[in-house]
Amino acid sequence: MIQVKSFENGFKYIEVTNDIASAKIALQGAHIYEYKCKGKDDILWLSETSSFEDGTAIRGGIPICWPRFGSLDESLPAHGFSRTSKFELLGAQEISRTLTEVTLLLKDTKESRALWDVAFELEVIFRVGETLKVEMKTINRDKKEFMITQALHTYFSVSSIADVKIFGLEEKPFLDTLKDEESSEKKEISIDAECDRVYQDVDRDIVLKDKNRTIILKAEGSSSAIVWNPWIEKGSRMSGMRADAYREFVCIETANAFNDFRLIKPQESHTLSVILSS
């Protein structure tokens, strides 16, 4: 079943249910904020204090950072403008009893042109079933080449940040943005302080091991990934989040970040995707 619903304030979202899984996807930001298979807990973390209001980004789920990752481009909002943009429902179909596909579309507008003067289409495709696949397809509808950096900023729900180990990034170079230092990962990742690392040359699956489950991230169209947790001090300053919420999640982002930027020629496209399985 596929239904378009609204909160009392008019904020619209799509609810998907099939024989094996369910999901909720906000039209603002093409933002999936709930995904779970029957009999299992949600793999995505969502702040219970996050706002579902027009113009305010949702805290949790999978925010989309596009057409820029980060805040290096001062001409654009941090992480671009897509997180608070209204997408249209381009298509929805029940492929089978256990697989549902939803496609959302964002096109350039007068408002987006004032920030980023290019003609584009951004399709975000969700395939909800035994696994969750999120696919971002950027199409250049302009007469000139343009550059993008982007990320699927996935918040994973964990039993406790103390129980988390992340595999698949061993021996990969990374930039520690907190220290502005480059280094190389020596072993699996554990987190016991604020963490904000951008990894490059990522060429294998990333595995998140928690006390109660294992989640596998299989990316395509990407060779960079980000591991992030705000910890205590930064987490207490962030909007839409309890001060101690850092204990409940870790972000592992599938990205085209920094050296993994993409140049898209006129009438060509680039697709970034991730498949999440638990």
First vs last C-alpha separation in the chain: 23
Phi, psi (deg, nearest 5) at residue 105: -135, 135
**Could you count the other beta carbons within 10 Å of the beta carbon of residue 186?**
8
pLDDT tens-digit readout, 185-214: 999 999 999 999 999 999 999 999 999 899
Q: Please, are residues 245 and 157 in contact by the beta-carbon 8 Å criterion?
A: no
- 278 vs 45, 117, 157, 209, CA distance in Å? 14, 40, 12, 10
| Residue 190 DSSP class | -
Q: Is the pLDDT of residue 71 over 90?
A: no
Q: Please, are residues 190 and 164 in contact by the beta-carbon 8 Å criterion?
A: yes
pLDDT of residue 94: 97
Q: Virtual CA dihedral for 10, 11, 17, 21, nearest 10 degrees?
A: -160
274 pLDDT band, cuts 50/70/90, is: very high
Active site residues: 153, 253
Query: In 3-state terms, what secondary structure has residue 147?
Result: strand
75 pLDDT band, cuts 50/70/90, is: confident
> Which residues are 150's β-sheet partners?
256
pLDDT tens-digit readout, 144-196: 999 999 999 999 999 999 999 999 999 999 999 999 999 999 999 999 999 99
236 pLDDT band, cuts 50/70/90, is: confident
Instruction: Please give the Cα distance from 145 to 140 (Å, whole number).
Output: 8
74 pLDDT band, cuts 50/70/90, is: confident
pLDDT of residue 130: 97
**Averaged pLDDT score across all residues of the chain:** 95
Q: Please, are residues 151 and 253 in contact by the beta-carbon 8 Å criterion?
A: yes
pLDDT of residue 238: 87
pLDDT of residue 241: 87
Q: Is the pLDDT of residue 219 over 90?
A: yes
pTM, 2 dp: 0.96
Place of tokens 């705000």: 230
Q: Is the pLDDT of residue 102 over 90?
A: yes
| Token pair in block for residue 229 | 């947790």
Full set of structural domains in the chain with CATH: 2-277 (2.70.98.10)
Contacts 24+ apart (CB under 8 A), 236-245: 238/59, 239/59, 240/47, 240/49, 240/50, 240/51, 240/56, 240/57, 240/58, 240/59, 241/47, 241/49, 241/50, 241/59, 242/47, 242/48, 242/49, 245/47
